[in-house]
Amino acid sequence: MKKSLLSLSLAIAATASVTASATDPNSLLAQTEPKVIEWRRHIHQNPELGNREFETAKYITAHLKSLGIEVETGVAHTGVIGLLKGGKPGPTVALRADMDALPVTEEVEVSFASRAKTQYNGEEVGVMHACGHDTHVAMLMGAAQVLSAMRDELAGNVLFIFQPAEEGAPDGEEGGAELMLKEGLFKKYKPAVAFGQHVSSSLPSGVIGYRSGPLMASSDEFRINVKGRQTHGSRPWGGVDPITAAAQIIMGTQTLVSRQVDITKEPAVVSFGVIDGGVRNNIIPDSVYLNGTIRNFDMENRQEIFKRLKVTAEKIAESSGARAKVEILEGYPVTSNNPELTEAAIPALKAAAGDNKVVVVPKVTGAEDFSFFANEIPGFYYFLGVTPKGTDPASAASNHSPRFYVDESALKVGTRAITQLTLDYLASQQKN
């Protein structure tokens, strides 16, 4: 459960930057910006899928060690943890970047485009950083370089989390933030807060989008096997038709959100993506398989939807003489920003991007496993726009597209933001 931030002074955090520093962070950031682009291009050109980020981990490890940061490797398979100990006592701030790429063949014409291929689900596929995780890693590497140069002035520690498998672990494997926590990451390092960022095609380059409270939806999968009894299509009364039962289940579940869940709390979505049953036009099959996703922004509603989906499917099937077996595979929880930490973060975001380039964004029905971290300690997660000037974000290729494009000029904003958030938080805690 999230802990209270009663000790966090918003008035102090509103100063927006650490000014009493013997080492100028702005100068350090300016020196680091070209390197961030260089690192990003290397990682982009050498993408790896979840739980297989071996070379990426080596690249990150070498960088952190060169900065004199304590490093732990092999966390949740390929994750890399860096601990920067400040020169003064204080809390530990966790900063997270995800490392994995997607099974997508790149179609962007840049000199550093990925040509990588690998095996995925038994097929040879292209591999691309189509969600921008390469930029997340590079920006956090940049923050590590800046903050390590300021270590003597830091009143606390910085925990750099380079996380594998945000897009999901391979079938039969565990991974990602959930596995890191299961292995004891937070128990060992005891961070007080966690910050994370994600590039987005939905915002203009350099614009930062945030919101307090629920930001991204939970993501859960459901599977429904509808069991009937095979018969000839000309004699449906001779068996039990799972196709009509499945159709009724699909329509019946549309009332879960509209009629059975309190939608005044938060929105929710129940969608079917797979219907599979039958092999011939005149044979009613034995069974039909349904598969879909649930998205919502309230953890209590989440459990209510699970319960009502199961009852609805089972009772509708039973009414026609069929049987329905419902399996729910819980995925990522709701990504929710701690309100106090969010309020305190706004000055740092404005210092990084400019007052007119920090905006409140709508809820996003996509999901993010940073949510596991933010369920343990106060967390703040935000979006960084990467759609270049002259391109309408509404028409830009979205994250996960083979044409997803990053305007690299935005990376300096993201590096500055994650660095400034760290400096401001540690400074605020020192003065309290």
State the CATH number of the domain containing residue 288: 3.30.70.360
Do 21 and 147 lie in one domain? The reply is: yes
Residue 167 above 70 pLDDT?
A: yes
- What pLDDT score does 15 carry? 39
Do 327 and 406 lie in one domain? The reply is: no
| Known catalytic membership, residue 330 | no
Residue 8 above 50 pLDDT?
A: no
Full-model pTM: 0.93
Residue 13 above 70 pLDDT?
A: no
* Number of Cβ within a 10 Å radius of residue 394: 8
| Known catalytic membership, residue 289 | no
Instruction: Compute the distance between CA of residue 330 and CA of residue 349 in angstroms, rounded to an integer.
Output: 33
Answer yes or no: is 5 within a domain.
Answer: no
* Count: domains in the chain: 2
Q: Are strands 358-360 and 208-210 parallel, antiparallel or unpaired?
A: parallel
Q: Which domain holds residue 224?
A: 218-332
Residues 6+ apart with CB under 8 A from 316: 245, 248, 249, 252, 324
Answer yes or no: is 325 within a domain.
Answer: yes
Instruction: Give the torsion through C-alpha atoms of 79, 37, 383, 113, to 10 deg.
Output: -80
Do 154 and 212 lie in one domain? The reply is: yes
Instruction: Compute the distance between CA of residue 94 and CA of residue 383 in angstroms, rounded to an integer.
Output: 17
Q: Within 150-228, where are the H helices?
A: 176-182, 185-189
Q: What is the pLDDT of residues 208-254, one digit of tens each?
A: 999 999 999 999 999 999 999 999 999 999 999 999 999 999 999 99
Q: Are strands 218-227 and 287-296 parallel, antiparallel or unpaired?
A: antiparallel
Instruction: Compute the distance between CA of residue 126 and CA of residue 129 in angstroms, rounded to an integer.
Output: 10
Answer yes or no: is 363 within a domain.
Answer: yes
The average confidence (pLDDT) of the chain is 94
Angle at which helices 411-430 and 25-45 pack, to 10 degrees? 130
Residues 6+ apart with CB under 8 A from 69: 82, 83, 84, 144, 148, 160
Residue type, 264: T
Residue 60 above 60 pLDDT?
A: yes
- What pLDDT score does 431 carry? 62
Do 23 and 155 lie in one domain? The reply is: yes
Name the active-site residue from 53, 106, 266, 332.
Answer: 332
Do 122 and 263 lie in one domain? The reply is: no
Instruction: Compute the distance between CA of residue 207 and CA of residue 196 in angstroms, rounded to an integer.
Output: 16
CATH number of domain containing 360: 3.40.630.10
Angle at which helices 54-66 and 133-149 pack, to 10 degrees? 20
